[in-house]
Structure 1
Amino acid sequence: MDEPLETGALLASMFGAEGHLWSVGTLSAFMALEGCGTPEQTPSGLILAAGGSRARLRPGAQLLAFETLSSDPRGWNHGIALCLPGTPGKPSGRITRVSDDDPIIPADRGHPVLDLGLGQGPVRALFRPASEDAFAAAGLAWSEAAAILAPLPGEWIVDTPVLRVERAGAVLHSVPQALETGRSHAETTPVPPGLIPLAHVFPPHPARHRPGEPMAFDPARHARFQAILSRHGRPDLWALKQEVMAQLAEGRFAPPETDRHGATVVRVALRQHLHLQGPPPREWLDRFDRPLLRALEEGPGR
């Protein structure tokens, strides 16, 4: 039997699971996977039909678990990036007509689709139109074609080697700056050089139902993600977090030297300490997390 935290078993347990939010793609083209259900194991991968979409999960991803700051001064975010080696490159931004050689439904193989020119590295963003008229957009720039294609019937697709999502309706998102810069992911995500995050999964959070909807802290949810973080997080950042937590537990204050991502780790540890043990010592807050300090001074709910 696979270990629960082993990559394949972990992803399979979260695919279609209630409360787990998924997205596929990079900043230039990404799509949410909504709904929950029971995936079907097929020769081509694990297939999930839920929320008006179809999704296929395949093995091969390198996982990167991470924690980042949220806009709530007491809160944090967490997630798991599904990565592959490589560099993203800059999207072409040009629409072309191509053949779909790896659809989820075998009967769709070889059908013509529009490549939207938004892909980076191994990511492709496609549109499978219901009418031949849509292919008149071939040759246009995405900036010209987006408004033309959005109301047309068809399926929007984000395809990667590890996760593919197909969904009817205009649900594809693109960050315009990413088309210019070629950046594949948010700078706050601590992705090591040489990896591209192709998809993300966001497990249930221990302190909120969803962004903006706090809940009573759930220690079991917290422990679950910490186990994932210890196995699939960046080892240097996990070691830093363990050191900070040990200092807090022992009443010591020997502030570590940190870069941007390291400082985030310290701040997340302080915010989690608030839920686990109570307010952190002021010297830590003065040095690393003034927003949390102000929120505590202003009282509950701030």
Structure 2
Amino acid sequence: MLDLTKVAHEALSQEDTGWNMGSFGAIAEFHHVAGDPSPAPVDGLTQVTARGGVRIDNLEGVTPVAYETLSPKPHRWTQAVSLCLPEHAAAMNQREVLTELGSDTGTIRSENCEDILFDMGLKQFQVDFCIRTGDPNLLKVLRDNAGKSLFETGNPAMPAILAAHPHRVALTRIGRIEVYQMIGGPDTGGKSPEGPHTHVLPKLLRAGRTHSANTPIPEGLTPCGALHPENPVIGRLGEDKPFNRAAFDAFQGLLNAWAPEEYLTGKQGAWRLLEQVVAASDVQEPDSRVGRAGWRNGIRQWRILHGNSALLDDWAVAFDRETGLSDPENPGH
């Protein structure tokens, strides 16, 4: 059986592994940028650079859920391990208005511990999505508008935040991610900066979901964060890259230990039938949503592993079509 703490510790030393914490609509991401100095060594489950940091404070009671999701691009897939808690244990404060929390005594870097933390009041179930600043001008605007919704018509706090680019801090029951870079928007050319960044997407916030419907989280669990080991076909900037068999095999180990059984059955079933050269017309895809995702990713991965064939083309036409089982790979970028 895999040890989650050991897996997390090793992942934090891997520059190609990304992390996130947040909800469906408010998320903080940590990624190492190629060419940057290696993350500074820090005691415990922590990784920090000049651009941001991630710290895992508590894995007690965490259930890891490994999964692969379908990409809109038919030659790709995404992958992650969600770190989940029972619903009652994952709940955060769910504040609805801008709220001053005081000095950030739990900060990853000691130089930020005197800066003031504000909950943005996004009312997300498993994350207190915050900003942190020592800027006196921004502090005045924030304090003048504390107790109000950031989305209230005419509230000057949100424009002030977007102009000042304070640190963003995502707080969960398992730890935190801090982002020191600018907020993606007009000052960054309309896209998120490379490396650590955040997304606050009002349209998704209004859905009131803890995670995408395409993420196979078992009922009763809530994802508080996730690690994203190196993808074997997608580079750090979302570009196609030559297939990395070592990265593929490494994630299959996590998948076999921690994936939903329906997914594994779907993918392995497709592989078995393809190996037996069974025609697409003679097989039936799984009944469940999760099983069908495994089946379709199995087709994609078989092509990567074994090359093109007329048989595989027939399977792709029959089964690997767009059915609402995929999400944008980089929402908000």
- For the aligned pair, the TM-score class normalised by the smaller chain equals 0.7 to 0.9
Match of 2:122 in 1: 118
Q: Which has the higher strand share?
A: 1
> Separation in 1 of the partners of 2:302 and 2:219?
30
SS of equivalent to 2:16: coil
Match of 2:28 in 1: 31
Q: Deviations over 1:26-65 (max 9, x none)?
A: 1232112132525422xxx423221422321123232111
**8 Å contact from structure 1 (residues 28, 119) kept in 2:** no
- State the 1:176 CA deviation: 0.9
Q: Which 10-residue stretch deviates more, 243-252 or 170-179?
A: 170-179
> Separation in 2 of the partners of 1:16 and 1:53?
15
- State the 1:268 CA deviation: 0.5
1:281 maps to which of 289, 294, 312: 312
Amino acid at match of 1:46: L
1:40 maps to which of 42, 52, 63: 42
SS of equivalent to 2:215: coil
Match of 2:101 in 1: 98
- State the 1:101 CA deviation: 5.9
1:8 aligns with 2:5: yes
- State the 1:283 CA deviation: 4.4
2:149 maps to which of 136, 141, 157: 141
Q: Which 10-residue stretch deviates more, 155-164 or 104-113?
A: 104-113
The within-5 A match list for 1:1-302 is 5-35=2-32, 36-41=38-43, 45-60=44-59, 61-86=62-87, 92-99=95-102, 100=104, 102-104=106-108, 112-130=116-134, 131=136, 132-133=139-140, 134-143=142-151, 144=155, 145-152=157-164, 154-168=166-180, 169-170=182-183, 171-210=197-236, 212-252=238-278, 253-279=282-308, 280-290=311-321
**8 Å contact from structure 2 (residues 66, 258) kept in 1:** yes
Relative to structure 1, the CA distance from residue 137 to residue 86 in structure 2 (aligned partners, 3 Å threshold; closer, same or farther) is same
- State the 1:217 CA deviation: 1.7
Relative to structure 1, the CA distance from residue 54 to residue 282 in structure 2 (aligned partners, 3 Å threshold; closer, same or farther) is closer
Q: Deviations over 1:197-251 (max 9, x none)?
A: 1222221121232465222222221111111100111122112222221121122
Relative to structure 1, the CA distance from residue 62 to residue 51 in structure 2 (aligned partners, 3 Å threshold; closer, same or farther) is farther
Relative to structure 1, the CA distance from residue 9 to residue 136 in structure 2 (aligned partners, 3 Å threshold; closer, same or farther) is same
**8 Å contact from structure 1 (residues 29, 125) kept in 2:** yes
Amino acid at match of 2:129: A
Equivalent pairs: percent with the same residue? Answer: 25
CA RMSD of superposed structures (Å)? 2.7
Aligned residues: 285
Q: Which 10-residue stretch deviates more, 260-269 or 30-39?
A: 30-39
SS of equivalent to 2:262: helix
> Separation in 1 of the partners of 2:92 and 2:117?
22
- State the 1:7 CA deviation: 0.9
**8 Å contact from structure 1 (residues 129, 152) kept in 2:** no
Match of 1:299 in 2: none
What are the ranges of 5 or more consecutive residues in structure 2 without an aligned counterpart? Answer: 33-37, 184-196, 323-333
Per the normalisation by structure 1, the TM-score is: 0.83
> Separation in 1 of the partners of 2:307 and 2:52?
43
Per the normalisation by structure 2, the TM-score is: 0.76
What are the ranges of 5 or more consecutive residues in structure 1 without an aligned counterpart? Answer: 292-302
- State the 1:118 CA deviation: 2.0
